[in-house]
Chains A and B, each alone.
Chain A
Amino acid sequence: MKRLEALEAIKPVLDENIVVTIMGAVAAELQSLGHRPNWFYLQHAMGLASSLGLGIALSRPELRVIVLDGDGSVLMNLGGLTTLARYRPSNLLHIVFDNGSLLSVGGFPTATTTGTDIAAMADGAGVPRTAGVDSPDGLRDAVAAALESDTLTTIVAKVEAHYEPPRGTAGFVTNLTLLENRFQFARHLERLRN
């Protein structure tokens, strides 16, 4: 499946929850579905989206946080899987789009093309629930089951190494500036507290 199809399949869930994404194609494609103030795009600091999501989830147990991660990013912060698993916040859902590629920097293959299994690594790290999916319907069902379980879950969604800049996007740069997103998101989380 294409990642954009995967995002569209779970859009209602992303609309309702706090979402933290990685940089590059995931951020640009999610924005192309219509930016919302509950979405934060970590456009650099590769690997730290899951840690940032953990920080929100531990700080605000009343919120549900969905991290949209990638294979290249997870491989940069494998230790972070063990920290996620150690604290296993029930309000965190970790979705990894695995396209087997460092797509935004030349499309070189990642280790998931040579046998590395991120779902198995999450399982080995101690994440209490893991799943692997390869279709939009499969992802939708796995997300529903994860939210229903109220248990930290890592879902690895296999997607094509494909990216077309959405309309209004130059390369991976959208018209939403990083700081605008950051302050809007923090303000949104503040409002949700009141």
Chain B
Amino acid sequence: MAVSIESSRIIHDALVANGVRLVSALPETWLVHLIRMAEEDPAVTLVRLAKEEEGVGISMGAHLAGVRSAMLMQNHGFLASINGIVSGAQLYRIPLLMLISRRGAMGERDPWQTEGGLVTEHVLEALRIPYDVLDERATVEHRIGKAMTLAGSALRP
């Protein structure tokens, strides 16, 4: 799915339709539109982070407080969050909905994204974190909803 205002709008609307009221984010070029939409939407509280792992703590707090949240991050941000995910969210059985931009995949032009692109899915699998790929607009809302349902029933990221 190409990065565009239209596809970002579909993802943002799917998050809101699925009850997300708090979004944490660290900017990256693919996420610019999504972050702007979260900022402009009065239904959503946007928390701008210094480092992605903070978002794990914030989402844990939001969950304990009864608020649905989502984390917007690049795959390198996911890689930077792993201790928080393992010894926070997984240890305490707290669902996390992570939207991870998949940098370093086929067609990647930025050399610095390529190593992370090679390992991201393997790391997700090693952590036993189920994932799906949002690659067509028509199924975005459905897939985000299903991801949130599974996270909530399994009480895991």
Contact = CB atoms under 8 A, between A and B. Distances in A.
A83 B22 CA distance: 15
A184 to B, nearest CB: 11
Contacts of A86: 48
Given A44-B88, A83-B50, A87-B47, A185 B57 contact: no
Contacts of A182: 64, 92-94
Contact of A51 (B56, B63, B93): B56
A48 B56 contact: yes
Interface string B49-83: 11101111111111111110100000000000001
Given A48-B54, A80-B50, A80-B54, A58 B45 contact: yes
A179 interface: yes
9 contacts: A45-B84, A47-B53, A51-B57, A51-B60, A54-B58, A55-B61, A56-B64, A83-B54, A186-B63
B91 A55 contact: no
Given A178-B92, A189-B65, A55 B60 contact: yes
Contact of B53 (A42, A48, A59, A186): A48
A11 interface: no
B77 to A, nearest CB: 12
B153 interface: no
Contacts, number: 118
Contacts of B57: 45, 47-52, 54-55, 80
A179 B61 contact: no
B87 interface: yes
Interface string B22-38: 10000000000000000
A97 interface: no
A175 B60 CA distance: 23
Contact of A178 (B21, B61, B65, B91): B91
B88 A83 contact: no
A53 interface: yes
Contacts of B53: 47-48, 51, 77
Nearest to B91: A44
Q: Which of A20, A57, A87, A182 has the most CB of B within 10 A?
A: A182
Determine the interface band of chain B, counting residues with CB < 8 A from chain A: 20 to 34
Contacts of A179: 92-93
A186 B66 contact: yes
A79 B62 contact: no
Interface in A49-72: 49-60, 63
Contacts of A45: 56-57, 60, 83-84, 87-88, 91
Contacts of A43: 91
Contact of B61 (A56, A190, A193): A56
A51 B21 CA distance: 17
Contacts of B65: 55-56, 59-60, 63, 189
A59 B141 CA distance: 24
B62 A55 contact: yes
Q: Which of A40, A56, A179, A190 has the most CB of B within 10 A?
A: A56
